[in-house]
Chain A
Amino acid sequence: MADTVLFEFLHTEMVAELWAHDPDPDPGPGVSAGLRGEEAGATKGQKMSLSVLEGMGFRVGQALGERLPRETLAFREELDVLKFLCKDLWVAVFQKQMDSLRTNHQGTYVLQDNSFPLLLPMASGLQYLEEAPKFLAFTCGLLRGALYTLGIESVVTASVAALPVCKFQVVIPKS
């Protein structure tokens, strides 16, 4: 039984690597990239970025989606799938339900978690607001991956107004 704390520590470490090696995206006019002696992180192999974290989350979300109990795969409506994510998947992964789900009934859903476990240990309020997106990328991928396994292609983004409250926006394009 792998304790949930192992996942949280691993996730934190993965994000920390992003922090440690994130090259300054805009070094400014006076600084030349040559000073660093290498291309922005590439030769060191450190390519953790938000999209990489999201991609890893996607793979894990897909795999988790395949492990869900069979009866959950027969959904009647898109909204049922989202409700399932908010309840069952969130409980399985984070030991709590999503706090609210809103939709415009046209393919956009906003899932709000008022005490997101991966943000809880960091801070509460506005401190570290800039760092928060790094801690959400993996989970966005996780949602997107689980949706994918359930037959839905989507774009998932997240936003934080104040820790530890965060909102995940799921947009399902109409084909």
Chain B
Amino acid sequence: MSRPAHRRPEYHKINKDLFVLTYGALVAQLCKDYEKDEDVNQYLDKMGYGIGTRLVEDFLARSCVGRCHSYSEIIDIIAQVAFKMYLGITPSVTCNNSSKNEFSLILDKNPLVEFVEELPAGRSSLCYCNLLCGIIRGALEMVHLAADVTFLQDRLKGDSVTEIGITFLKKQDEKKYRRKK
């Protein structure tokens, strides 16, 4: 049975490149609009957050994962199912503290930077992939988990690996719904 046209490997690659290239164009545009790296980083995080809040529904619909009972289960699902599904990579997971609420995802390969050799001149604090942090944060918040998500290491900045740190925060005190006198 011959392959239908849209399954040709070249098209698959073009499709994959579309997101990566669009992301690159977005970062380039933001660098034009904002002088400070922190502003670009913040903006990328904010956009990622918006994407994450919707992506999580898409993820849950496609993956049919069951309820998680611990933070480390959730992190495993993010690394082994979500990253695999959307970016085709499986970061490795480490737990950074004994209270089991701080984790790291170590990205060996990162498709987002496929066409990026180095950060632009004068942009040494740019977190090129900050969209990812926002996406993870937004997605977790939609399942009622507050977390800080940041890049701890970044190959583009000269570190040996790219590492995303995820710290689950204590849940908000639910007493805010108490009736006022």
Chain A residues with CB under 8 Å of chain B are 1-7, 9-14, 16-17, 45-48, 52, 55-56, 59-60, 63-64, 67-69, 87-89, 91-93, 95-96, 138
Contacts and interface: CB of A to CB of B under 8 A. Distances in A.
A7 B21 CA distance: 10
A64 B6 contact: no
A42 B47 CA distance: 19
| Interface SS, B side | helix
A59 B23 CA distance: 11
Nearest to A1: B88
A7 to B, nearest CB: 4
| Interface SS, A side | helix
Contacts of A69: 10
B17 interface: yes
Interface residues of B, number: 37
B100 interface: no
B12 A2 contact: no
The 6 nearest A-B residue pairs measured at CB: A92-B11, A92-B14, A1-B88, A56-B25, A45-B33, A2-B19
15 contacts: A2-B19, A2-B88, A6-B87, A9-B55, A10-B19, A10-B22, A13-B50, A45-B43, A59-B28, A60-B18, A63-B17, A64-B21, A69-B10, A88-B5, A95-B6
A60 B88 contact: no
A60 B85 CA distance: 23
A98 to B, nearest CB: 13
B50 A16 contact: yes
Interface string B15-45: 1111111110110110001100001000100
B6 A92 contact: yes
Contacts of A67: 10, 13-14, 17
A69 B9 CA distance: 10
Contact of B10 (A3, A47, A92): A92
Contact of B18 (A7, A13, A14): A7
A13 B45 CA distance: 12
B86 interface: yes
Nearest to B11: A92
Interface in B69-88: 85-88
B3 to A, nearest CB: 12
B161 interface: no
Contacts of A3: 85-86
Given A3-B86, A60-B25, A68 B14 contact: yes
